[in-house]
């Protein structure tokens, strides 16, 4: 059957029969720190979390009484109300091996008590609304709140999973090329699926995966009824401006804001004809009512019938999972672009941070996968569509069931003063991360980053809390990509790309690979796996000892004052004397060479140069297990070659 697409038509001034917010219905439910609000289906209770997700709060909207549902295991952000009026939420615990295990809970507001409904398991665990109940869905087990919960949908990567009322599962991929699917929900009548495809937009498909609507760039969608959807702006994409909550119709005829643009409204949720949302930085929760009929959701009370814990066969042994976010995407306004004149190439080359971030991210994925990790990425290409909204990135990380979140960037001073050092940022204050494990991860990665002897570091490596590092942004604002992330995580500013010699190194893919390799060593240490891997790496640079760069106002340091050797040939021989690899330095003025995946042993490294590739230097290098052996080499202008 031919796919049908409905194009959005924004009707800013609707005539007779217009839909929108009821006059005078807007009200404040929580003054501050009320993120990811959730209304009970009867509109009497409100769930919300502080920005650190360390607690889950429940407010009785009739009495104003606030109760703490849970305050251990980061229970915030993921909780939902069931049709039975109970709260279903997930907690997480990081084990000594660095793996994160997640547990499903049910809280009864009438008794004030919680119970475990799904025992801890590694990987993704989430609470899902089904047609007539709740499913706490894990990768190995799941829990059903009552017999016959009906159909439901969930996402894993770029696939939609539709589970029918008999428990049979159908896999669908309605949108090709997406970075992942998010926020999938069945329509109230159970005939359509609403979902967001990261980097693509908001869609509706039928139960066979055929698209019936393309609604544009929106996030965190909710069904209002079978014909209308409530969603938030995709502020990270230039095609949708501002932060606003929108009312959209499936037929494409209505596209109407239901919050004012100056509110910076995010995180919408629907119950009946009420919509709640959060003001982005303050955490104030507001509620409005719409003047169109709400969905007639089918509900059932939790009776004495049995509940189910169904064991699913585990496809893999528990291994560490890493979610990688190569920062930025596309050569857009938020990408850092620096035109660079390269003497060796005799041309101006254009450095974009998004390019080197992606090169590092893909390299880190390959390295970790070869080491037995499970890895997911927020992007694999470098287009405007890949510049994901921060909510998309955080949600993709959560949906991957990862144990750590790792965002890859490089830094810049933005001023004439030039510096260069590795910097890790984690959510929270210095030495007081919001999520336990983040400081340990940051310090491990920075330790190996600082050991890179190809770079010239002007300062010692640093691990900082983003609240402490960016006080001018406001109290506890920090980095957006870490803001709603419950995973142990960090953002790596691997070096400063506005320091010219470092930028020239970042133009070299092998140098980016080396940074990723050093990051993997820190990740190995974090998970206690450093001794499990055999092979090592040899890396270095080739510089002239007596040919210098221009001083550039004192902004060159130590060995970076020496010019690098373009076109040098490196030959590597194993301990039996057999030629193992060759590497030729590029013409981008960095002199970088890297030999990867080397069995531990003693090697002989030869440096050759000139039109005839004459031999100039021979050195010995000892490669150790899962380590980097550095060997920086030099040439003199009048140096005479050796006999081969």
Do 90 and 198 share a domain, yes or no?
yes
Domain containing 626 — which CATH number? 2.60.40.10
Do the domain assignments include residue 5? no
Element (H, E) at 374: strand 374-377
Q: Are residues 254 and 339 in the same domain?
A: no
Give one DSSP letter per residue of 329-341, joined into a string.
Answer: -SSSTTS-EEEEE
Domain boundary residue among 499, 528, 557? 528
* 298 located within any domain: no
Residue 235 is predicted with a pLDDT of 65
Q: Over the stretch 20-58, which tens digit does the pLDDT of each residue have? A: 788 778 899 999 999 999 999 889 999 999 999 999 999
pLDDT value of position 308: 47
- 327 and 188 within one domain: no
Q: Note whether 429 and 574 are same-domain residues.
A: no
From the list 30, 602, 601, 634, the residue with the least C-alpha distance to 283 is 30
Do the domain assignments include residue 642? yes
Instruction: Look at residues 513, 528, 543 and tell me which one is the last residue of a structural domain.
Output: 528
Domain that holds residue 538: 534-644
Residue 258, domain CATH: 2.120.10.30
Please identify every stretch of the chain with a pLDDT value under 50, giving residue numbers as ranges: 1-17, 237-240, 299-315
Same domain, 571 and 492: no
Same domain, 164 and 273: yes
| Mean residue pLDDT across the chain | 91
- Tokens 């079978």, residue located: 226
Residues 6+ apart with CB under 8 A from 131: 149, 150, 151, 152, 165, 186, 190, 298
The answer to whether residue 524 sits within a structural domain is yes
Show which of 496, 528, 560 is a domain's final residue: 528
Provide the pLDDT for residue 522: 98
Domain membership flag for residue 19: no
pLDDT, residue 297, reads: 54
> Is 514 part of any domain?
yes
Q: Do 279 and 363 fall within a single domain?
A: no
Within 8 A by CB and 6+ apart from 260, the residues are 244
DSSP 8-class letter at 312: P
If asked whether residues 523 and 538 sit together in one domain, one would say no
Q: What is the CATH number of the domain that holds 504?
A: 3.40.630.40
Q: What is the DSSP string of 541-568?
A: EEEEEEEE---TTT---GGGGEEE-TT-
Residue 15's pLDDT is 29
Considering the domain architecture, whether residues 519 and 540 belong to the same structural domain is answered as no
- For the chain, how many structural domains are there in total? 3
Secondary structure element (H or E) that encloses residue 360, with its range? helix 353-370
> What local confidence, expressed as pLDDT, does residue 334 receive?
86
176-193 confidence digits (pLDDT tens):
988 899 999 999 999 999
Do 400 and 538 reside in the same domain of the chain?
no
- Give one DSSP letter per residue of 224-247, joined into a string: SSSSEEEEEE-TTSTTS-S--EEE
């Amino acid at each position: 059957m031919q796919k049908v697409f409905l194009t959005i038509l924004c009707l800013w001034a609707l005539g007779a029969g217009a839909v929108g917010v009821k006059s005078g219905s807007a009200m404040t439910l929580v003054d501050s720190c009320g993120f990811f609000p959730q209304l009970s289906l009867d509109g009497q209770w409100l769930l919300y979390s502080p920005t650190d997700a360390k607690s889950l709060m429940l407010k009785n909207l009739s009495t104003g009484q606030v109760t703490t549902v849970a305050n251990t295991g980061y229970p915030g952000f993921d909780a939902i109300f069931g049709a039975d009026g109970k709260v279903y939420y997930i907690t997480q615990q990081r084990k000594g091996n660095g793996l994160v295990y997640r547990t499903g809970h049910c809280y009864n507001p009438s008794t004030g008590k919680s119970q475990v409904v799904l025992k801890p398991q590694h990987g993704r665990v989430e609470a899902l609304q089904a047609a007539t109940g709740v499913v706490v869905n894990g990768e190995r087990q799941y829990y059903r709140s009552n017999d016959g919960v009906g159909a439901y949908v969930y996402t894993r990567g770029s696939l939609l999973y539709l589970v029918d009322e008999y428990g049979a599962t159908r896999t669908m991929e309605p949108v090709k090329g997406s970075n992942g699917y998010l926020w999938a929900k069945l329509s109230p009548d159970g005939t359509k699926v609403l979902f967001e495809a990261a980097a693509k937009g908001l869609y509706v498909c039928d139960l066979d995966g055929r698209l019936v609507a393309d609604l544009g760039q929106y996030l965190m969608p909710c069904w209002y009824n079978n014909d209308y959807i409530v969603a938030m702006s995709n502020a990270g994409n230039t095609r949708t401006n501002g932060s606003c909550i929108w009312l959209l119709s499936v037929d494409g005829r209505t596209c109407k804001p239901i919050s004012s643009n100056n509110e910076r409204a995010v995180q919408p949720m629907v119950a009946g004809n009420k919509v709640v949302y959060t003001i982005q930085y303050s955490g104030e929760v507001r509620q409005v009512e719409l003047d169109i009929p709400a969905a007639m959701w089918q509900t059932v009370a939790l009776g004495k019938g049995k509940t189910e814990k169904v064991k699913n066969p585990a496809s893999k042994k528990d291994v560490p999972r890493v979610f990688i976010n190569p920062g930025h995407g596309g050569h857009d306004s938020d990408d850092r672009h620096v035109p660079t004149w390269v003497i060796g190439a005799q041309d101006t080359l254009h450095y974009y941070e998004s390019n080197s971030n992606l090169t590092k991210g893909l390299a880190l994925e390959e390295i970790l996968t070869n080491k037995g990790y499970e890895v997911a990425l927020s992007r694999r290409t470098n287009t405007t569509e890949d510049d994901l909204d921060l909510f998309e990135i955080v949600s993709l990380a959560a949906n991957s069931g990862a144990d750590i979140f790792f965002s890859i960037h490089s830094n810049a001073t933005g001023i004439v003063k030039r510096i260069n050092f590795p910097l890790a940022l984690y959510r929270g204050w210095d030495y007081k991360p919001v999520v336990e494990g983040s400081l340990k991860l940051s310090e491990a990665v920075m330790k190996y980053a600082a050991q890179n002897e190809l770079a010239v570091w002007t300062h010692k490596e640093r691990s900082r809390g983003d609240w402490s590092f960016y006080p001018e942004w406001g109290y506890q604002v920090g980095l957006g990509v870490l803001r709603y992330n419950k995973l142990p995580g960090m953002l790596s500013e691997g070096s400063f790309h506005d320091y010219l010699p470092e930028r020239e190194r970042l133009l070299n893919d092998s140098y980016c690979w080396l940074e990723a390799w050093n990051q993997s060593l820190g990740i190995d240490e974090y998970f206690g796996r450093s001794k499990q891997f055999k092979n090592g790496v040899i890396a270095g640079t080739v510089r002239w000892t007596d040919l210098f760069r221009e001083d550039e106002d004192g902004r060159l340091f130590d060995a970076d004052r020496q010019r690098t050797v373009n076109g040098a040939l490196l030959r590597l021989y194993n301990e039996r004397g057999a030629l193992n690899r060759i590497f030729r330095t590029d013409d981008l003025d960095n002199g970088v060479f890297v030999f990867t995946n080397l069995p531990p042993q003693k090697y002989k490294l030869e440096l050759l140069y000139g039109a005839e590739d004459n031999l100039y230097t021979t050195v010995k290098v000892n490669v150790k297990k899962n380590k980097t052996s550095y060997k920086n080499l030099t040439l003199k202008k009048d140096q005479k070659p050796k006999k081969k």
